[in-house]
Structure 1
Amino acid sequence: MSTDQDIKNVVLVHGAFADGSGWRGVYDNLTARGYRVTIVQNPLTSLEDDVAATTRVLNLQDGPTILVGHSWGGTVITEAGVHPNVAGLVYVSALAPDAGETTSQQYEGFAPTPDFVIDVGDDGFGFLNHEKFKLGFAADAGDADAAFLRDSQVPINMSAFGVPVKDAAWREKPSWAVIAEEDKSFDQAMLQHMAERMGAEITNVPGASHDVFITQQGIVSDVIDTAAHDAARVRAA
C-alpha cells in the first residue's frame, strides 16, 4: 500500500458517451492506497467546457496532482494539464493531440473502426449505436454491465472533435499510457503512435476493451500509482 508518496492527489477525467461513475473502481482502489481522488464530470458540450470543468477541479487540489483521462478525456487533459498543479499525465486508451491539432486529426491515416458507430442527431450530439455498443465499447464487460453503460451513456457535441487544442501538456510533463489491446474504438496503431509520440511509458493490457478503466481497474490504478511515485522523483531531481 502506498501511504508515503509525495504526490497524493489524483484527478480522473471521463471520456465521451460516459460519466464519472465509471471510475468508481479506480477511485476505491486508489483511496485505499492513501490517495485523495477527485472525479471530473464533463458536460461534453464543447472542448472549452470540458477543460473548464477539469480546471475547476484542479484548482481545488492542495498540491501536485496526477491528471488521468480516458478516451476523449485524453484531449481534455492535454489542454487542461498545463495547470500548475499537474505533475504528470496518465492516458487510458486516450486521445493525445499536439498543440494546434484537433481530435479528429488523430484518426487520419489509421484503420477505421467499424464496430464503433456514432449516431448523430439533428442537434449535433452523438450517442454510440445501441446495437454495436457492447462490441465497440465494452466487449470484455458482462452483458448486464455493458447494457447499463449503453443505457446511461452521455452524448457529446460532435463539433468538439474539430476544435484544435491550444496547448499540449505532455510536451512539458511526464506521461504514461494504458492501452487496451482489444480496443475497438481506436486502431491499435493509432493508440501506439500517440503514446510513442508523447514519449509515454506504455502499459499494454491484453484482452481489454475500450472500457479498460472499468474492467481493468487494478492495472489502471497501478499505473497511476507508478506515475505518482515517478513524477515525484522527477520533481525532486
Structure 2
Amino acid sequence: MQSISKNAILAATLGTAALASTAAPVSNDDVQKPTVVLVHGAFADGSSWNKIIPILQEKGLRVVSVQNPLSSLAADVAATRRALDMQTGPVVLVGHSWGGVVITETGQHEKVKSLVYVAAFAPSVGQSVIDMSKDYPTPSGFNHIVTDKEGFLTLSPEGVEKHLAQDVTTEQARLMAATQGPVRGTNFEERVSAAAWMTKPSWYVVSEQDRMLQPALQTAMAQKISAHVVSLPAGHVPQLSRPSDVAKVILAAAAHMSK
C-alpha cells in the first residue's frame, strides 16, 4: 500500500507540473491590468464586498476578496500579503474598518500603488485601534458586543441590524449577523510597524452616520493621511448600503495609476 500511495502522489505531482508547463503565457496587458484587493473588517467576512465586486468587474478590473482569519493582526497581514503576492500587476488595496489597520501594514508591498480606506482605521506607526479611539466617545454599537470564553468578539443580531448596518435591508443585516467572523478582542491592542499611507496615495470614504467608528475620528484620520475624501450619508458598511458610491472611489484610485 505504501508504494501505491507514493506512486499516486508522484503521478499527481507530475500532472500538476504538466499543466503548469502548458499554461498560456501571461501577456503584458494582463500584467499591467489593475487588480483590486479587498480586505474586510471585524464582525464580517469577504462577502461584505459582494455588492462592490460585480461593479468593479464590469469595469474590467480583476478583484480579490481576502478572507481574514481575524485571529491576530499578524494573521490578517499574512493572509493579505499572500493575496498580494499572487497578483501580476498593480494593485489598489482597499480596507474596511479593522481592514484599514491591515492595509496600513501590508500596503508597503511593492505591487500596491494606491490605498482606499472605507470607514476604516488608518493608524500611524506604533498605533493601535485603542490608541486612535481613546479620545473619542465609544460608539453605540460597542454596547452590543458579545465575548466568548476565548476572548473572541461578535455582534449581537441587534447590534448588526441597528448599529453596524442600520441602513441596509433587514434580510441583508440578518445574513451579515449569521456570517460574521469572530474577531479576537486583543487585536485592537496590536500596533502597526509600518504605515503605507506615508508613501502611497490614499482615498478615504467617511461614513457620516457610523455607529461603530466615530465619524469625527474618520475625518481626523483622513486628514492625517492627506487622503482624497468622499463623505457619504451612510452607516458603517457603505460598501453594502452605497455600493455605487464606494465603487466610484475605488475606480478613481485605479485610474490614478495611469496618470
Is the TM-score greater than 0.5?
A: yes
Shorter-chain TM-score tier: over 0.9
The secondary structure found in structure 2 opposite 1:131 is: helix
1:159-216 Cα shifts (integer Å, max 9, x gaps):
111111000000110000011111110111111011110000100011x111111121
Runs of 4+ in 1 over 4 A off after TM superposition: none
Q: CA deviation at 1:106?
A: 1.2
Distance 1:202 1:74 in 2: 15
Q: d(CA) in 1 for partners of 2:33 and 2:135?
A: 38
Question: Which among 234, 237, 245 is matched to residue 219 of structure 1?
Answer: 245
Which residue identity does 2:176 align to in structure 1? L
1:92 aligns with 2:118: yes
What CA distance in whole angstroms lies between the structure 1 residues aligned with 2:131 and 2:85? 30
The counterpart of 1:10, out of the listed 33, 36, 56, is: 36
TM-score by length of 1: 0.93
What is the TM-score with the length of structure 2 in the denominator? Answer: 0.85
Which of structures 1 and 2 has the bigger CA Rg? 2
Superposed CA RMSD in Å reads 1.3
Given residue 73 of structure 1, which amino acid in structure 2 is its aligned partner?
Answer: G
Match of 2:133 among 94, 107, 115: 107
State the distance in 2 between where 1:107 and 1:31 align. Answer: 35
Displacement of 1:7 in angstroms is 5.3
Q: Provide the secondary structure at the position in 2 that maps to 1:61.
A: coil
Equivalent pairs counted in the alignment come to 228
**Separation in 1 of the partners of 2:34 and 2:257?**
11
Structure 1 counterpart of 2:95, from 60, 69, 74: 69
Q: Any stretches of 5+ residues in structure 2 without a counterpart? A: 1-31
Q: Contact conserved, 2:145 with 2:159, CA < 8 A, in 1?
A: no
Partner of 1:179: 206
Of structures 1 and 2, the one with the larger relative CO (CA 8 A, separation 6+) is 1
User: Which letter maps to 1:43?
Assistant: P
Is the helix fraction higher in 1 or 2? 2
Overall identity of the aligned pairs, in % = 41
Q: Distance in 2 between matches of 1:146 and 1:32?
A: 26
Unpaired runs of 5+ residues, structure 1, are: 1-5
Residue type of the partner of 1:87? K
Change (3 A) 1:125 1:30: same
